Structure formats: structure tokens, C-alpha cells
């Protein structure tokens, strides 16, 4: 049984067949899916979806692309949403210097403020770091993220950064890109990481694993990522599923 620790089931790419996508995830044996919020409106949608399906949980936060939309009411709204039963994390939050859809200058304080919010409401964080490794790590360290806990989603840093994140007690989440033929280096990195700190994710509808690369991603495909990580770690896929599922349950408090 696998957990997709990071999906965006609310996005319009799923509008035509959302129910079937969720059905296929269930049939594939997924134990849980975390559908991750991107802005206030999307967080509302994520919670509605989690209310509809017992095995779906939600996270609430403002993605670095959207932090320019944060106003005086945003944090009280987020705080209220975070109190919902099915909300298991604050995220995704962080820094994105690849697309810079919000100015870097404002990404820093909005990231710090959302870390503080997570501490206040006692929820772990889901961190988005794209081409901002040093800055992300520095803020996590300065904000004493080891007292908050969380996961670096779609981890794309190097081994030194991974070790620093592990030192903060964080988990590291592996996306479908590890299945690509040209991801030898990434596989070598994952081989060095401790099993008890790994999570698996799809980031659906994005980052589709081989053999569906180029098509829309969906939570059921987390199986292909699991298969590759198991091969890299030289263990049985069932064992990897057990360990990563247990890790996600522990981090997000997903116990019945």
C-alpha cells in the first residue's frame, strides 16, 4: 500500500474525469493521497475534496508563485482552514527562483511567515524549493524548522543539502522524474538517503513518470516511482511501500 504524499487533484487538468482518477488510485491500492493547496481558493477546493473521500487529506498554504496575492486577511483564513479535521500540513510553501512569479524579495518574508503559522497551529510543512536550495535551507535553519517538521517535496538539491535537511529532522520526497533514463545522478543520490526519511509523490498532474512521460500524471502512477526507488535501494517494492507509507503516516499523523 502506497501513499501519494503530494498531488494537486483540484486542478483543471482533472475537471473532466476527477472521480475516475480517484477511483483508479483506490484500485491501485493507494492508502492515502495528500492533495496540496496552492492559494486560498485552491485550499478550499482541496478541503472539499478531502471531505468527499475518506482516503484523501489536504494541506493548506500559499505557493511561492502566489505569495504576491497574500493580503491582511490571508493568514487568518489559512489558520481557520488549517483547523479542519482533514488538513494535515501547511503547504506548499517555500521559494521558487526558476519562474519568479512572485518577486524574490517578497518570497522570503512570506515563506518565513508561513513557517511561523505552521508552528502556531502545530502542523508539519510541505516545502517547495526550485532553484533556491541555499536560500531555502538558510530560512529553514533560521526559523528553527526542526521544531516544526516537514518534507522537502520534489527534492532537487544535492547530497549535502539532503543531509542538512535530514539534520533538521525533515523527510525527503521523491517524484516520478527518478524513473527517467537520464536520471542516473538522481538515483545515485537517493541511494544514499535513509529509507526511514523517504516519501513518494506524484505532484500530479505534473512530473509524469516513465512509461507515461509526456502525458498527464495521476496518483496511481506513484507505483512506478516506488518500483524505481525499490530497485535503486535494492529492496522489494512491497517493503519500500511499507516503509514510505509508515513514514508519511508518521509525518502527517495519518492514523485511523
Mark 178-217 with x for binding to Zn ion (rule: CB under 5 A) and - for no binding: -------------------------x--------------
For Zn ion, give the closer residue by CB, 4 or 203.
203
CA distance 126 to 149: 9
C-beta nearest to Zn ion: residue: 128
Stretch that binds Zn ion, among 73-81, 92-100, 159-167, 216-224 (CB under 5 A): 92-100
CA distance 84 to 64: 23
Closest distance between Zn ion and the C-beta of residue 20, in Å? Answer: 21
CA distance 217 to 108: 30
Does residue 153 contact residue 116 with C-beta atoms inside 8 Å?
no
Looking only at residues 221 through 250 of this chain, which bind Zn ion when binding is defined by CB under 5 A? none
Residue 108's CB is within 10 A of a number of other CB atoms, namely 17
CA-nearest of 105, 83, 108 to 93 is: 108
Closest distance between Zn ion and the C-beta of residue 229, in Å? Answer: 19
For Zn ion, give the closer residue by CB, 25 or 230.
25
CA distance 69 to 248: 30
45 binds Zn ion (CB under 5 A): no
128 binds Zn ion (CB under 5 A): yes
133 binds Zn ion (CB under 5 A): no
Stretch that binds Zn ion, among 40-48, 88-96, 107-115, 219-227 (CB under 5 A): 88-96
The grid cell for 57 is: 487529506
Closest distance between Zn ion and the C-beta of residue 63, in Å? Answer: 7
Question: Please, what is the Cα angle at 103 between 77 and 132, to 5 degrees?
Answer: 95
CA distance 161 to 136: 10
For Zn ion, give the closer residue by CB, 42 or 203.
203
Binding site for Zn ion (CB under 5 A): 92, 128, 203
Amino acid at each position: 500500500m502506497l501513499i501519494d504524499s503530494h498531488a494537486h487533484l483540484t486542478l483543471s487538468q482533472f475537471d473532466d474525469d476527477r472521480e475516475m482518477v480517484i477511483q483508479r488510485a483506490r484500485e491501485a491500492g493507494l492508502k492515502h493521497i495528500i492533495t496540496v493547496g496552492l492559494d486560498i481558493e485552491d485550499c478550499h477546493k482541496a478541503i472539499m475534496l478531502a471531505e468527499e473521500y475518506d482516503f484523501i487529506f489536504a494541506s493548506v498554504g500559499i505557493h511561492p508563485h502566489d505569495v504576491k496575492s497574500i493580503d491582511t486577511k490571508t493568514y487568518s483564513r489559512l489558520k481557520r482552514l488549517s483547523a479542519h479535521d482533514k488538513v494535515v500540513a501547511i503547504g506548499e510553501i517555500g521559494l521558487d527562483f526558476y519562474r519568479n512569479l512572485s518577486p524574490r524579495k517578497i518570497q522570503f518574508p512570506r515563506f518565513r511567515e508561513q513557517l511561523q503559522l505552521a508552528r502556531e497551529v502545530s502542523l508539519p510543512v510541505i516545502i517547495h524549493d526550485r532553484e533556491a536550495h541555499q536560500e531555502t535551507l538558510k530560512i529553514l535553519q533560521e526559523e528553527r524548522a526542526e521544531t516544526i517538521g516537514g518534507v522537502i517535496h520534489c527534492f532537487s538539491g544535492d547530497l549535502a543539502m539532503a543531509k542538512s535537511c535530514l539534520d533538521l529532522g525533515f523527510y525527503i520526497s521523491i517524484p516520478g522524474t527518478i524513473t527517467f533514463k537520464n536520471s542516473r545522478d538522481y538515483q545515485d543520490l537517493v541511494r544514499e538517503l535513509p529509507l526511514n526519511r523517504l516519501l513518494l509523490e506524484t505532484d500530479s498532474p505534473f512530473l509524469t513518470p516513465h512509461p507515461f512521460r509526456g502525458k498527464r500524471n495521476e496518483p496511481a502512477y506513484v507505483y512506478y516511482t516506488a518500483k524505481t526507488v525499490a530497485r535503486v535501494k535494492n529492496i522489494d517494492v512491497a517493503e519500500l511501500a511499507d516503509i514510505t507509507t509508515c513514514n508519511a503516516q508518521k509525518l502527517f499523523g495519518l492514523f485511523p
